[in-house]
Amino acid sequence: MKLNLSLIDLFFVILYYLLISFIGILVAKRSRKTKLEHELDFLFAGRKITLPFFVASLVATWYGNILGIGEFVHRYGLLSWFCFGIVYYISAFLYAIFLSKKIREIPSQTIPDLIGIKFGKTANLVASLIMLIVTFPSVYVLMVGIFINLIFGLDLLISITIGTIVTFIYIGYGGFKSNIITNSFQFILMYVGFGLFAFFSMRAISYDFGQLQKLPESHLEFFGNASWQYIISWVFISLQTFIDPSFFQRCFTVASGKTARNGLLISIFFWLVFDSMTIFVGLVGKLSYPNINPMLVYPTLLENIVPGIFKGLILVSMLATIVSTLESYTFLSSMIIGKNIFENFKFWLKVPIKDRIRIGLIITAFFSVLIAYLIPSAIDIIYKTSSIAVPALFYPTLLSFSKKKYLNKLQVNWIIISSSSVTLIFTFLKKISLGLTKTHFYDFIFSFEPMVFGFLWSTSLFAIMYFWNRNKLQRTTTTQVLSL
């Protein structure tokens, strides 16, 4: 598919990229004049982010999977509001209440740092490697590539590569402050563009919401026809919020803990508004084009119902939704490589932090393009990567905030490595078993998603180790008392 765009539509797209590149580089130049490229300014914007920029940046960052949303709505209907909305609102609310203020007050600059301080250098390294799985911006690289493919008709791999290079340049140049400012600009574009898209979608159905009753019955049911195992897996996926480095980084860099908490609560409202628009547009797309490639539902609807120059404006808003998240996770992934991983090797300690992060940027670009090309589905990328990382890092991250030492270093490393391995094993087994003769045992085991087994494993390990350590402490205390 190739979009039929006018010259003015193409002008809007080119102007958009020029503007965000200009803004990103301009911020970096101003930063150097006042801060002399100080590490804190490059990595954390001086830890002075105010409430409006915090909200705008976090909302834009957390909502980049726009083609994936369209794909999911086209497949499952209102189930998407549960899987991509409600469970995430709850996780974000809990994060705001229990963790946001703590993050602003602790000295740890990243989640691997936090885990490493509590459980040692090995845990830092292992957590960093696992975290890369969810921070590699592969899904957003894929979506930007698809848009370039739709606009210019280029090969998908070439489109993915071009989109990656263009987006990565100003982030490597300007650092986190550039990320915050460009995110805030793109936040405005997102809401203006999708507001227009929702309006034209209403016009396409003659403002008659009753027409949505023509959709498949499962699309209008809150849980659709998805299995309860699949639904539970998305509940677990939403727990990615607690290990997501974009939440941690923004809470760490905000001006105060109170601002972090309030900003998260305000962000939930904005996510709710944006979800309302994207899901409605997706349902209209399903109603109008039931048999298209689900990932292309928004571009197809854009092509056929949006008139004149509004097509270019809405196209830019969709790009802004994706690129804002792409640039954020690009920087986060590069920081994990350049800071947390490279700092475990003496050679890299001699290299300035900004250069290490820029090398991390190159590594991020390579693997993101590779994963995006090998797994050409936005939903599959998110589902597979989250399934591996969330069970592995959920408990170690939460335990790192506690002053008590519930587990020792070896036990935490074992939880991280074994939990991710269990999920990988079940993912592999489910894949190779598709061509095998089905049995009752097969039907029972593989009715569960691999992530469920990973979480069951990590939860069981945590419980066993916790009670073992507590009983051991009680036995030691009793022995000491008797010896007196």
pLDDT at site 58: 95
Give yes or no for residue 305 having a pLDDT over 60: yes
- Closest to 224 measured CA to CA, from 65, 73, 86: 73
Rounded to the nearest 5°, which phi and psi values hold at 49?
A: -70, 130
Q: Which residue type is seen at 399?
A: L
Least confident of 16-20, 236-240, 283-287, 398-402: 236-240
- Whether 324 and 190 have beta carbons less than 8 Å apart is answered as yes
Instruction: Please give the torsion angle defined by the CA atoms of residues 338, 340, 346 and 350, in that order, rounded to the nearest 10 degrees.
Output: 40
- Between 478 and 437, name the one with better pLDDT: 478
Averaged confidence pLDDT in the chain: 86
Least confident of 169-183, 184-198, 279-293, 433-447: 433-447
- 195-199: average pLDDT: 97
Give yes or no for residue 383 having a pLDDT over 60: no
pLDDT at site 35: 47
Q: What is the pLDDT of residues 337-362, one digit of tens each?
A: 998 899 888 888 888 888 898 899 88
Give yes or no for residue 74 having a pLDDT over 50: yes
pLDDT at site 219: 92
For the chain, how far is it from start to end, CA to CA, in angstroms? 81
- Give the pair of three-digit tokens for residue 370: 């590779």
Which segments within 297-434 are labelled E, that is strand? none
- Give the pair of three-digit tokens for residue 458: 């990590």
Q: Give the rounded distance of the alpha carbon of 235 from its chain centre.
A: 15
Rounded to the nearest 5°, which phi and psi values hold at 101?
A: -65, -40
Left, alpha or beta for 175 (phi > 0: left; psi -120 to 50: alpha)? left
**pLDDT tier at 452 (50, 70, 90 boundaries)?**
confident
pLDDT at site 367: 83
- In the block, tokens 């991390």 appear at 360
pLDDT at site 36: 47
- 124-136: average pLDDT: 88
- Whether 422 and 457 have beta carbons less than 8 Å apart is answered as yes
Q: What is the pLDDT of residues 404-416, one digit of tens each?
A: 889 999 999 999 9
pLDDT at site 437: 56
CA count, 13 A, side-chain hemisphere, 333: 24
CA distances 133 to 51, 104, 380, 388, Å, are: 30, 25, 13, 8
pLDDT at site 434: 61
Distance, CA of 234 to CA of 88 (rounded, Å): 9
* DSSP 8-state assignment for residue 339: I
**pLDDT tier at 442 (50, 70, 90 boundaries)?**
low
- Give the pair of three-digit tokens for residue 99: 């963790």
Q: What is the pLDDT of residues 11-61, one digit of tens each?
A: 998 899 888 888 877 776 655 555 445 677 778 877 889 999 999 999 998
- 59-69: average pLDDT: 84
- 215-240: average pLDDT: 84
- 212-235: average pLDDT: 85
Distance, CA of 45 to CA of 91 (rounded, Å): 26
- Between 252 and 442, name the one with better pLDDT: 252
Least confident of 143-152, 406-415, 459-468: 143-152
CA distances 454 to 268, 389, 392, Å, are: 28, 9, 8
pLDDT at site 382: 54
- Closest to 376 measured CA to CA, from 75, 64, 142: 142
What is the DSSP code string of 66-125?
HHHHHHHHHHHTTHHHIIIIIHHHHHHHHHHHHTHHHHHHSS-SSHHHHHHHHH-HHHHH
CA distances 259 to 155, 202, 253, 318, Å, are: 45, 37, 11, 28
pLDDT at site 386: 67
- 127-153: average pLDDT: 84
Q: Which residue type is seen at 419?
A: S
Give yes or no for residue 230 having a pLDDT over 80: no
- State pTM to two decimals: 0.88
Distance, CA of 55 to CA of 146 (rounded, Å): 28
- Between 1 and 377, name the one with better pLDDT: 1
Give yes or no for residue 86 having a pLDDT over 50: yes
Residue 330: partners with Cβ closer than 8 Å, 6 or more residues away: 137, 167, 168, 171, 361, 364, 365, 368
- Whether 238 and 88 have beta carbons less than 8 Å apart is answered as yes
Distance, CA of 246 to CA of 254 (rounded, Å): 12
Least confident of 284-293, 364-373, 456-465: 364-373
pLDDT at site 90: 95
As a whole-number percent, the residues of the chain with pLDDT over 70 amount to 91
pLDDT at site 268: 96
- Between 241 and 171, name the one with better pLDDT: 241
Least confident of 44-58, 428-442, 463-477: 428-442
- Whether 77 and 360 have beta carbons less than 8 Å apart is answered as no
Residue 402, helix vs strand vs coil: coil
Distance, CA of 201 to CA of 52 (rounded, Å): 30
Residue 224, helix vs strand vs coil: coil
Domains of the chain (ranges plus CATH)?
A: 7-391 (1.20.1730.10)
